[in-house]
Amino acid sequence: MSNTPVATVSDDRARRVKGALTRYSVLAYVTGVFLLFLCVEMILKYIVFPAMEWDVPGWFTVVGQTHGLIFLVYCIMCLDLGVKARWEPAKWVTTILAGVIPVLSFVLEKRRRNEVIETFNLQPSAN
């Protein structure tokens, strides 16, 4: 817990922020998983397959393209949450950049989730 006072937030705004937080969280995990797939694919494509003199499967390009599309949606969800939570631009940028550094999207998602839940006094969803 931080010493930041919790401001009174309307129910409508809290509902919109909670929805944006859920969408952001889902995309943060999906982006993180596909980034890990992409890292494995790059290691196989540029190190393992050439060393073993194997042909690179054509479907490998799909992993990168899929991650790219998912990353674009992730960026939109970061901006959506940032607008609704009224973040400063620096927080938007760091949150978006977390989607291009392996594993960081998982770490930062948890931090952002806790910040938003505390700031807007949201009840964490029962999982």
pLDDT digits (tens, 9 = 90+) for 23-48: 999 999 999 999 999 999 999 999 99
Q: Give the span between the Cα atoms of 99 and 101, in whole angstroms.
A: 6
Token pair of 94 as six digits:
């760091």
Asked whether the predicted pLDDT for residue 6 surpasses 60, the reply is: no
List the domain boundaries for the chain.
Answer: 11-119
pLDDT band, residue 71 (cuts 50/70/90): very high
What is the reported pLDDT for 101?
Answer: 95
| pLDDT, mean over the chain | 91
Give the mean pLDDT of 93-109: 96
- pTM of the complete model: 0.85
What is the reported pLDDT for 27?
Answer: 97
